[in-house]
């Protein structure tokens, strides 16, 4: 972003702050006019200034020319800083609310001592705005809507939304001439379950071009900040995106820094310091000599460590593991051989069995388990015994057509309130793969719910417990559950726990999955596909598994069809043997 654009924005802020203070209207207008002609000026502002010709800009007199010069030489405007200091703390946030201009802020601050968006919201709810001239119910409602718009931008977005936006923006930025490397950074690169704002990094020798392309792109609904190497925008949907542009020689160091987590970076810097090195976003330094900066792996190597995968950079033991040469071997996309939790129109899925199966084959899987809902779950069109028998016959017929690909006969069977399953064992025994899930009685007390799930795991035909804690991100807390007891029982009964990859579930969570992993429990990513597009949520499941330090040997998805079926058979035979003895 150009100096004049940045400066124009500051002039508009000065004008707003002057107006809030009730200053001379002519002076206020002068700043607005100057901002306008700065915006329109297409030339080199610094050159104009050094030629002493700033006053050729429409509306710029000697006073304003001085301010421009101050900004060009110091990068600051003392007057703006001074005004901002004397204004209420939240003044710019208030001004960002649609429907709130300087005149409104003046009324709000003077009459009601409102200095922040939160205070405004409270005042409206309490009916205190009615006392002000010109504030009818209609205007109050509009203000509340406006507040919702600006505060919504601050909520965290789910990972799927952030990934879709990041994919679009990365593709767009890669096409900008002069952008040599582009990557997401921040929590998205670490694949956290929710994302506060999206961070993007670009290497380019021509940062202005990248900045301009970004801030004028169709995603830039609002521009929060636009400098020469960093910019922040908010999309029309209220999603914030931060962009940094760095020189190619510093790309690796910047990527390391802006990927975070902050806690990981703090520990890494300490480690570097103990080796007499300095680490920052520009590189690893000994004294003034730069040892590494271009590649992220070089940065880690310079402080004596192997490269650490972004998903585990959370200061959760990864630095000790790296130092000891014991970094976990994490699962990768290429390791995935199948997906297990898939619905069709037989229950509440959107797409028909054949389409769903074809889409699974097209992904290159060796097997998928079709797991429609069981009879009790009426809201999801759970299948009667007759109907699942019919589905099984149809799947067997389909399987006759495939080589190197198999549709596993499966079901997502409800765990009834007492821990029994929603189909008799005679039906379950004919299935290859059984996901057992809690969908009712979520309010049972902790001991009852825990006993219920443990009892389900003791059933020899249960392969995996689906979405084990029942949480819905932003909607519903996990049910009261003794997770340690569930993990222990999973281990003892050779039952897998699901990593449900649905974006609003991600259940087990990363932390819970890590505990299960540490306890040696088998895990299974299930996309909980209800329409073909949901197969893509495997990417979220992979991110979750990697954040939990999970490798291919502990993930059912990575086994060959033969090994998978053998693993399932072992639990059934062990249980059978136990009953006989
Ligand atoms: P978010 O946006 O809340 O989902 O989480 P992050 O991790 O993306 O955080 P964000 O966007 O504030 O910053 C992106 C990265 O930049 C962060 O992961 C690490 C780095 N970073 C930001 N501020 C600091 C800081 O004060 N110190 C250090 N060491 N790193 C920082
Ligand atoms: Ca971020
Ligand atoms: Ca950020
Ligand atoms: Zn379910």
- Of 1.20.1250.20, 3.40.640.10, 1.10.150.110, 1.10.150.570, the CATH number of 1-87 is 1.10.150.110
| Mean pLDDT of all residues in 59-80 | 91
Domain boundaries, the chain: 1-87, 92-139, 156-246, 251-327, 333-580
Residue holding tokens 């990864």? Answer: 318
What is residue 127's predicted lDDT score, i.e. its pLDDT? 86
Could you give the CA distance from residue 308 to residue 321 in angstroms, rounded to a whole number? 10
Q: What tens digit of pLDDT does each residue of 303-340 get?
A: 999 999 999 999 999 999 999 999 999 999 999 999 99
Task: Tell how far the Cα of 118 is from the centroid of ligand 3, in angstroms.
Answer: 23
Ligand that comes closest to the CA of residue 530 = 4
Task: Tell how far the Cα of 379 is from the centroid of ligand 2, in angstroms.
Answer: 38
The DSSP letter of residue 180 is: E
Determine if the pTM surpasses 0.85. no
Ligand that comes closest to the CA of residue 258 = 1
Query: Residues lining ligand 4 (ion), CB within 5 A?
Result: 437
Task: Tell how far the Cα of 158 is from the centroid of ligand 2, in angstroms.
Answer: 12
Among protein residues, the one whose CA lies closest to atom 25 of ligand 1: 262
Q: How confident is the model at residue 392 (pLDDT cuts 50, 70, 90)?
A: very high
Q: Would 156-246 and 333-580 be classified into the same CATH topology?
A: no
CB contact set of 402 (below 8 Å; sequence gap of 6+):
361
Q: What is the DSSP code string of 98-110?
A: TT--HHHHHHHHH
Q: How confident is the model at residue 177 (pLDDT cuts 50, 70, 90)?
A: very high
Among protein residues, the one whose CA lies closest to atom 5 of ligand 1: 187
CB contact set of 347 (below 8 Å; sequence gap of 6+):
372, 373, 377, 380, 381, 382, 383, 412
Whole-number mean pLDDT of the chain? 94
Q: What tens digit of pLDDT does each residue of 269-294 get?
A: 999 999 999 999 999 999 999 999 99
CATH class of the domain whose range is 333-580? alpha beta
- Note the CATH number of domain 92-139: 1.10.150.20
Neighbouring-strand partners of residue 434: 411
CB contact set of 436 (below 8 Å; sequence gap of 6+):
412, 413, 414, 415, 421, 456, 457, 459, 462, 464, 465, 466
| Burial (Cβ within 10 Å: 0-12, 13-18, ≥19) of residue 75 | exposed
Could you give the CA distance from residue 381 to residue 375 in angstroms, rounded to a whole number? 8
Q: What tens digit of pLDDT does each residue of 80-125 get?
A: 999 999 998 889 889 988 889 999 999 999 899 998 888 898 899 8
Question: Phi, psi at residue 476, to the nearest 5°?
Answer: -150, 135
Whether the CA torsion 68, 69, 70, 74 is positive or negative: it is positive
What is the position in ligand 1's atom list of the atom closest to the CA of 265?
Answer: 29
Q: Does the pLDDT of residue 449 top 70, yes or no?
A: yes
What is residue 130's predicted lDDT score, i.e. its pLDDT? 86
Q: Give the SS3 label for residue 89.
A: coil
* Choice from 156, 185, 187 to test ligand 1 binding pocket (greatest atom count within 8 A of CB): 187
Count of CB atoms situated within 10 Å of the CB of 138: 8
Q: Which residues lie with the beta carbon below 6 Å from any ligand 1 atom?
A: 186-187, 192, 195-197, 199, 257-258, 260-262, 265-266
What is residue 556's predicted lDDT score, i.e. its pLDDT? 98
Among protein residues, the one whose CA lies closest to atom 26 of ligand 1: 262
Q: How confident is the model at residue 454 (pLDDT cuts 50, 70, 90)?
A: very high
Task: Tell how far the Cα of 187 is from the centroid of ligand 1, in angstroms.
Answer: 8
What is the position in ligand 1's atom list of the atom closest to the CA of 261?
Answer: 18
Q: How confident is the model at residue 344 (pLDDT cuts 50, 70, 90)?
A: very high
Distances from the Cα of 90 to the Cαs of 85, 120, 262, 271, 487, in angstroms? 11, 10, 26, 39, 47
What is residue 152's predicted lDDT score, i.e. its pLDDT? 62
* Choice from 260, 264, 308, 310 to test ligand 1 binding pocket (greatest atom count within 8 A of CB): 260
Task: Tell how far the Cα of 268 is from the centroid of ligand 1, in angstroms.
Answer: 14
What is the position in ligand 1's atom list of the atom closest to the CA of 156?
Answer: 4
Residue holding tokens 């020189």? Answer: 247
Task: Tell how far the Cα of 243 is from the centroid of ligand 3, in angstroms.
Answer: 8
Helix 538-547 × helix 510-518 angle, to 10°:
60
R_g of the chain computed on alpha carbons? 30
Q: How confident is the model at residue 44 (pLDDT cuts 50, 70, 90)?
A: confident
What is the position in ligand 1's atom list of the atom closest to the CA of 269?
Answer: 29
Question: Phi, psi at residue 285, to the nearest 5°?
Answer: -125, 140
**Structure tokens, 437:** 């899930």
Task: Tell how far the Cα of 566 is from the centroid of ligand 2, in angstroms.
Answer: 43
Count of CB atoms situated within 10 Å of the CB of 274: 10
Task: Tell how far the Cα of 240 is from the centroid of ligand 3, in angstroms.
Answer: 8
Could you give the CA distance from residue 159 to residue 105 in angstroms, rounded to a whole number? 36
What is residue 93's predicted lDDT score, i.e. its pLDDT? 85
Please enumerate, as own/partner, the contacts of 479-483 that have beta carbons within 8 Å and a separation of 24 or more: 479/438, 479/442, 479/443, 479/444, 479/449, 480/444, 480/445, 480/446, 480/449, 481/446, 481/449, 481/450, 481/453, 482/446, 482/447, 482/450, 483/512, 483/515
* Choice from 184, 199, 263, 296 to test ligand 1 binding pocket (greatest atom count within 8 A of CB): 199
Which architecture, in CATH terms, is 156-246? Answer: 2-Layer Sandwich (3.30)
| Mean pLDDT of all residues in 160-186 | 97
Could you give the CA distance from residue 521 to residue 533 in angstroms, rounded to a whole number? 29
Task: Tell how far the Cα of 377 is from the centroid of ligand 4, in angstroms.
Answer: 10
Neighbouring-strand partners of residue 496: 464
- Note the CATH number of domain 251-327: 3.30.210.10
Among protein residues, the one whose CA lies closest to atom 27 of ligand 1: 262
Give kind and range of the element (H or E) at residue 341. strand 338-342
């Amino acid at each position: 972003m150009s100096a004049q654009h940045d400066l124009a924005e500051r002039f508009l802020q000065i004008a707003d702050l002057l107006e809030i203070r009730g200053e001379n209207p002519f002076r206020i207008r002068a700043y607005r006019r100057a901002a306008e002609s700065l915006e329109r000026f297409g030339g080199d502002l610094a050159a104009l200034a050094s030629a002493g010709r700033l006053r050729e800009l429409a509306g710029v007199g000697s006073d304003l020319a001085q301010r421009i010069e101050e900004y060009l030489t110091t990068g600051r405007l003392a007057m703006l800083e001074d005004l901002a200091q004397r204004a209420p703390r939240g003044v710019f946030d208030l001004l960002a609310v649609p429907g709130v201009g300087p005149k409104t802020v003046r009324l709000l601050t003077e009459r009601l001592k409102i200095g922040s968006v939160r205070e405004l919201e409270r005042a409206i709810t309490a009916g205190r705005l009615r006392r002000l001239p010109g504030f009818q119910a209609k205007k109050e409602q509009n203000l509340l809507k406006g507040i919702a718009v600006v505060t919504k931008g601050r909520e965290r977005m789910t990972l799927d939304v952030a990934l879709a936006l990041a994919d679009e923006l990365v593709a767009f930025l890669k096409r900008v001439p002069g952008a040599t490397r582009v990557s997401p950074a921040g929590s998205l690169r670490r694949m956290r379950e929710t994302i506060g704002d999206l961070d993007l990094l670009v290497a380019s020798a021509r940062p202005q071009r990248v900045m301009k392309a970004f801030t004028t792109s169709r995603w830039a609904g609002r521009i929060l900040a636009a400098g020469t190497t960093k910019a922040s925008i908010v999309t029309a949907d209220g999603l914030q995106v931060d962009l940094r542009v760095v020189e190619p020689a510093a790309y690796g160091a910047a990527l390391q820094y802006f990927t975070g987590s902050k806690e990981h970076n703090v520990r890494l810097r300490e480690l570097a310091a103990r080796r007499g090195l300095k680490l920052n976003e520009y590189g690893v330094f000994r004294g003034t000599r730069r040892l590494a900066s271009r590649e992220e792996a070089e940065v880690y190597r310079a402080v004596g460590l192997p490269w650490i995968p972004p998903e585990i950079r959370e200061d959760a033991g990864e630095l000790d593991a790296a130092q000891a040469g014991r970094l976990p071997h994490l699962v990768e996309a290429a390791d995935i051989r199948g997906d297990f939790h898939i619905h069709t129109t037989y229950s509440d899925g959107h797409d028909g069995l054949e389409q769903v199966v074809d889409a699974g084959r097209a992904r290159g899987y060796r097997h998928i388990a079709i797991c429609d809902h069981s009879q009790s779950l009426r809201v999801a069109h759970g299948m009667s015994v007759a109907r699942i028998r019919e589905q099984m016959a149809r799947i067997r017929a389909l399987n006759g057509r495939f080589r190197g690909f198999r549709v596993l006969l499966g079901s997502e069977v409800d765990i009834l309130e007492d821990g029994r399953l929603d189909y008799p064992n005679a039906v379950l025994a004919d299935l290859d793969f059984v996901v057992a899930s809690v969908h009712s009685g979520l309010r049972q007390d902790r001991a009852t719910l825990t006993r219920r799930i443990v009892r389900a795991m003791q059933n020899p035909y249960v392969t995996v417990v689906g979405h084990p804690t029942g949480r819905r991100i932003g909607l519903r807390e996990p049910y009261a559950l003794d997770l340690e007891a569930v993990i222990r029982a999973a281990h003892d009964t050779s039952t897998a726990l699901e990593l449900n990859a649905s974006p609003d579930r991600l259940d087990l969570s990363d932390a819970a999955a890590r505990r299960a992993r540490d306890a040696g429990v088998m895990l299974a990513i299930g996309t909980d596909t209800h329409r073909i597009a949901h197969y893509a949520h495997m990417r979220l499941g992979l991110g979750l598994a990697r954040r939990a330090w999970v490798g291919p040997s502990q993930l059912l998805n990575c086994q060959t069809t033969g090994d998978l079926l053998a693993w399932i058979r072992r639990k059934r035979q062990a249980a059978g043997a136990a009953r006989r003895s």
